[in-house]
Copies of this chain bind each other. A is one copy, B any other.
Amino acid sequence: MSVTIKDIARIANLSHSSVSRALNNSNLVNEETIKKVKLIASELGYIPNYSAKGLSLNKSFNIGLFFPTLYEGTSAYFFYEAMQAVMKVIKNEYKLVIANVDDYKEAKYINKRNFDGIILVSQSCRDDFFINKILENEIPLVVLNRYVNSYRVNNIISDDRQGVCRAIEYLIENGHKKIAFIEGKEGLEPAKERKEGYFDAFLNNDIQLRKDYIVKGEYNIHSGYVAMQKILTVSDLPTAVFCSNDEMAAGALKAIYEKGLKVPGDISVVGFDNSIISSFSSPSLTTVNKPIKQMSTKGAEKILQIINSNVNEVETLYIKTDLVIRESVKSLI
Residues of A whose CB lies within 8 Å of any CB of B are 2, 47-55, 59-60, 62, 70-71, 76-77, 79-81, 83-84, 87, 91-92, 95-100, 103-104, 108-114, 221, 247, 250-251, 253-254, 257, 276-277, 279-282
Report the separation of the CA atoms of residues A114 and B253 in the bound assembly, to the nearest whole angstrom: 48
| Residues of B close to A280: CB separation below 8 A | 221, 247, 250-251, 277, 280-281
CB distance from A256 to the nearest CB of B (A): 9
| Of B49, B80, B95, B96, the contact of A113 (CB 8 Å cutoff) | B49
CB distance from A68 to the nearest CB of B (A): 13
A50-B114, A253-B282 given; name 18 further pairs at CB < 8 Å.
A47-B108, A47-B113, A49-B55, A49-B111, A49-B114, A50-B60, A51-B54, A51-B59, A51-B113, A52-B55, A70-B84, A76-B76, A76-B77, A80-B80, A91-B103, A95-B97, A95-B99, A96-B98
| Residues of B close to A97: CB separation below 8 A | 62, 95-98
| Residues of B close to A92: CB separation below 8 A | 103-104, 108-109
21 contacts between A and B (CB under 8 A): A50-B109, A51-B52, A51-B55, A51-B114, A52-B55, A62-B95, A71-B84, A76-B79, A76-B80, A79-B79, A79-B80, A91-B103, A92-B104, A221-B279, A247-B276, A250-B280, A253-B282, A277-B277, A280-B281, A281-B281, A282-B282
| Residues of B close to A54: CB separation below 8 A | 51
Report the separation of the CA atoms of residues A266 and B111 in the bound assembly, to the nearest whole angstrom: 60
Judge whether B84 and A103 touch: CB under 8 Å.
no
| Residues of B close to A77: CB separation below 8 A | 76
Given A55-B51, A80-B76, A98-B96 in contact, is the A111-B279 Cβ separation under 8 Å? no
Interface centre among A80, A91, A99, A254 (most CB of B within 10 A): A80
CB distance from A7 to the nearest CB of B (A): 14
Given A60-B51, A92-B108, A276-B221 in contact, is the A113-B2 Cβ separation under 8 Å? yes
Report the separation of the CA atoms of residues A17 and B276 in the bound assembly, to the nearest whole angstrom: 55
Quick one: closest B residue to A250, CB to CB?
B280
| Residues of B close to A62: CB separation below 8 A | 95, 97
Report the separation of the CA atoms of residues A326 and B47 in the bound assembly, to the nearest whole angstrom: 52
| Residues of B close to A254: CB separation below 8 A | 282
Report the separation of the CA atoms of residues A181 and B292 in the bound assembly, to the nearest whole angstrom: 35
